[in-house]
C-alpha cells in the first residue's frame, strides 16, 4: 500500500512542480468568435497627383467618407480613418512636374464587421451611393478620381486581437 501512495504523491508533486492547476482539467472554455466573425481591415495607400491635395481631400470627404459614414450607421463598417502621411504635408504645395520621394500621401483605413461585410462592400457602397443626395462640394466639381490621385497599394488584414494584445493576419496584398 505504501508504494501506490508514494506513486500518487510523486505524481501530485510533479503536477504541482509543473504548474498544472485544477482548472486545466475542467471542460474547455467556450470558443471565441470564429475566423469569419473577426473584423477585417482594408488599407489603401493613395498617391496624390501634384497640386491636387486639397481637391483630393474634398473628393474623399464627398465620396469615401460619406459612404463609410452611412455603412457605419448600418453596422457594416465599424471604423474608418483617413490619415495624411508626412509626404502629403510636405507635398501640399508641390507643383505639376515636381515628384515626391514618398510612396503614398494618404492612408485610407476601413474596419469591416467581418469577412462577409468586407466581401459585400462593393454592392453595399453602390446601393448607398444611389441613395445619397448628390450634393458634393464645390472643391471637387469637374474633377474625376483619376485626375486627383491613384491607389498605389492595398492591404487587407484580419484582426485577431485577444485580451488587449493586437494581432493581425495579412489576407491580401496588391
The answer to whether 151 touches 110, Cβ cutoff 8 Å, is no
- Other C-beta atoms closer than 10 Å to the C-beta of 89 total 10
Whether the model clears a pTM of 0.85, i.e. scores above it, the answer is no
Q: Give dist(CA 74, CA 81) in Å, integer.
A: 17
Question: Which stretches in the chain have pLDDT values below 70?
Answer: 1-35, 86-102, 134-141, 163
What contacts 74, CB < 8 A, 6 or more positions away? 124
pLDDT at 26: 43
Instruction: Report the pLDDT value the prediction gives residue 98, as an integer from 0 to 100.
Output: 47
Q: Please say whether the beta carbons of 171 and 158 come within 8 A.
A: yes
pLDDT tens digits, 101-119: 568 899 999 999 999 999 9
Rg, Å, the chain Cα set = 26
- The 10s digit of each residue's pLDDT in 114-150 is 999 999 999 999 999 888 776 555 545 678 888 999 9
Strand partners, 47: 150
How many Cα atoms within 13 Å fall on the side-chain side of residue 96? 2
Amino acid at each position: 500500500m505504501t508504494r501506490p501512495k508514494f506513486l500518487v504523491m510523486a505524481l501530485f508533486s510533479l503536477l504541482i512542480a509543473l504548474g498544472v492547476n485544477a482548472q486545466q482539467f475542467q471542460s474547455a472554455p467556450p470558443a471565441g468568435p470564429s475566423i469569419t466573425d473577426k473584423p477585417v481591415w482594408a488599407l489603401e495607400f493613395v498617391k496624390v497627383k501634384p497640386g491636387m491635395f486639397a481637391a483630393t481631400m474634398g473628393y474623399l470627404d464627398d465620396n469615401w467618407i460619406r459612404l463609410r459614414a452611412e455603412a457605419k450607421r448600418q453596422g457594416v463598417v465599424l471604423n474608418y480613418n483617413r490619415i495624411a502621411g508626412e509626404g502629403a504635408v510636405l507635398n501640399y504645395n508641390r507643383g505639376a512636374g515636381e515628384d515626391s520621394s514618398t510612396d503614398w500621401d494618404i492612408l485610407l483605413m476601413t474596419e469591416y464587421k467581418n469577412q462577409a461585410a468586407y466581401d459585400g462592400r462593393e454592392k453595399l457602397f453602390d446601393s448607398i451611393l444611389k441613395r445619397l443626395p448628390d450634393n458634393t462640394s464645390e472643391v471637387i466639381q469637374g474633377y474625376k478620381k483619376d485626375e486627383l490621385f491613384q491607389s498605389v497599394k492595398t492591404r487587407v488584414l484580419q484582426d485577431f486581437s485577444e485580451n488587449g494584445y493586437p494581432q493581425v493576419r495579412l489576407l491580401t496584398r496588391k
